[in-house]
Each structure stands twice: as C-alpha cells, then as structure tokens.
Structure 1
C-alpha cells in the first residue's frame, strides 16, 4: 500500500463540476461576450476565460470587467445580463469529458455516496448536470452560493461531508485545480486531481494530491489499491 493512501475505507466522494466533469469554457465565453456586447465593451478570448474560471461566476465577471477596462460600477448591470445569457446558453457549448460517466458509475457501484460541489451558482449547476445526463449520479448538488464561503475555503467541503454523513477523512475530493486541493487539504479530505482541467492556466501536476489522473475512469484501477 502506498504510504500516501489513508488507511480508512472511503464512504463518499465530492466531485467538482467545471473542468472536472464538463468542459464548460465555451458556455462561459459565449455568455461573457454576449454580456460585454450588451454593455458596449470589448470581447474576451477563450484563453483569458480558461485562466480565470474556478473561483465563482462573480469573480469571473469582476475579473472580466477589469480585464476590458470597464468601470467597476457596471458590475450589477453586467451581473444581471450575464446571468440571463448564461442560463440561456447553459450546456449548449459544453461537453462531458471522456471517462467521466464511467468513473462516476464505478464510484456508485462501489457504494460511495456522491455529491457535486462547485463554485458555479446552483441555478447554473443543477440544469447543466441534468442536460448532460449527470444529475442521477449525485445525492447532493451544492453551488458556490450554497454556503457562506466558496472553495478554496474548506467550509463547503465540510458542509458537504455533513450532508453526505461522511467523515472528511473518508470522503474523496475529485477536482481539477489548486482551489479543490487547498479546500480538501484544509478540510482533511483526501484529494485527486484530473490533468485536463483549467487550474488558472497552470500545470495541475505541480499541485499536491494523492494522484493526478488523465481520465476519471482511471479511478477504478487507482482505487483498487484503497482498503
């Protein structure tokens, strides 16, 4: 047994959404640029969005306005437009990453209780999971507005563990970024990271985790080593 593996059996898993299960960059780019068009502001490119997503839609929008040189006072008007555009496009430009459904099905077959925990607003996350055929895997879905603080704060993970009735040490966090890893480490959850996500434009392999997986269905062979 790898000494990095905890000795206790897993009871549950918490799975991030954007960049971990679904490639949503296209949705973000379309919604943001429609919002910027409404305000007469310059558009942003996919590369900027990829570096900026992960800390919640509010952070993404504020960063976008700053990036294009907009008056911060435009935020409230921009937020209303962004929400409307995102809800309209939600899932249209998004694709489930290869291996995700197989990985989730295997976790469920192993008897783990699953929750989706994302910094995306709950009103965006729930219909996206439904549209992409992922909702049925999860007992709980918590967005970035579900708790007082967002990842990388550990509070959302601790509250999600409570909802799953699972101790943090027996709850695996699966994510794609340093936000997920920092939250998991602080909450006392073991964590694995996928290599294909966003992670603010940086190589996620440099972020400490039990494993860095190229596909979520690699969990089956990796977790075979778990007690």
Structure 2
C-alpha cells in the first residue's frame, strides 16, 4: 500500500490513500439519490453498528479535465461481485475512517460512469507534491514491498509497483499499487449524520452543486464551509 495523499475541500487534511480520515466531495450533476426503505442503509446487511473490511480488487485515480474548487481527482474503487453483494446499498456506500467517511457511488450519478458495474467512484483532491515525492523516492530506491493497510493498521506487505505520475498528470487513469482493504461503514443512514433527505439536498438555498455551479457555495449544508 502506498502513501498517496488525497485531501478534502478547503479544510483539507492529508490521508494515506483511502484508508484513513477524509471525505469525498461528491459531484451531483444527476438527480440526488432518493431515500427509501430499500436504500436507506449504507451498510453490510443486518448490522447497524460495526464496520467490515472488504478487499478492493483495485483502486485507480484520474485527474479531472476541469478541476473545480472542490475536487481535482476521480477515485475508482473496484469490488468483487461477492463483496458488493454484502452491501445493503450497493449504489452509495461510506468507506474509510469513521470520523470522516468517504462516499463512493455505483449508481451512475455524481461522476460515476455506469451503475452496477462494481466500480465505485468518488471525488477528492490529490496532493501532487506528495505524488511527486513518492515517484522520486521510488526512482532512487529499490523498493520491493510496500505496506498494505486495513484502516490505519498495516496488515501485510504487497509487491511494490511503480506509480505512473506522468500518465496521471496527463489525464490518464492510473492504478494505485497495493489495493487496500477498505472499512465500509455499517451505520444505518437513518441513524447517521449523513444528509440524505431530498428536501435538504435539493434546497439550493442551503446546498451547492459544484458540477453545475448551482446553489449557495457557502450554504449551511454545502461542502465549502
């Protein structure tokens, strides 16, 4: 696992890939996800309080062609069919650190290209300086293994793979070495602090959509504050 840094919004904090604290700034160009009885849980079935580590088959990133104030990078997390079937809501899931969960989508909205293809998509900032530093360090050292994390703990060592920074900066999709186990949030959406009520997320006097530049960027429920 590597130490690629992703950041969030104006109060960005450094993290180790997708395994520690951050929140993705979701881009909601499509209609906001409806909340109903069948899709209220962003969880593994029949559990409302724990977290379950699921192996990511792969994790890739791509620099946005037109970065916004809230994101410059797409993140693609691919799950196996078996792991995806463990999710109560296979369309929108929370993953990562419980203090600031990442939102990943496989519903064909918010930057996700195709619903149900097992590729969960999120938006964030990439720390280019950290990426460059890593690429330079790899070029100078004969690194054979890198740590692979579960949450914040090292689980095992994985074979090192070179990071193609030039391809990333050119807009290409690059695979991040050492796909992690991700801790998927098992909190029931009705009992969590994630705002999903359509009367709120569609009220652009309080929210902001960075994809369409609609709403109040400094609204009380926007990600800008």
Interval containing the TM-score (normalised by the shorter chain): under 0.3
TM-score (norm 2): 0.27
Higher helix share: 1
TM-score when normalising by structure 1: 0.26
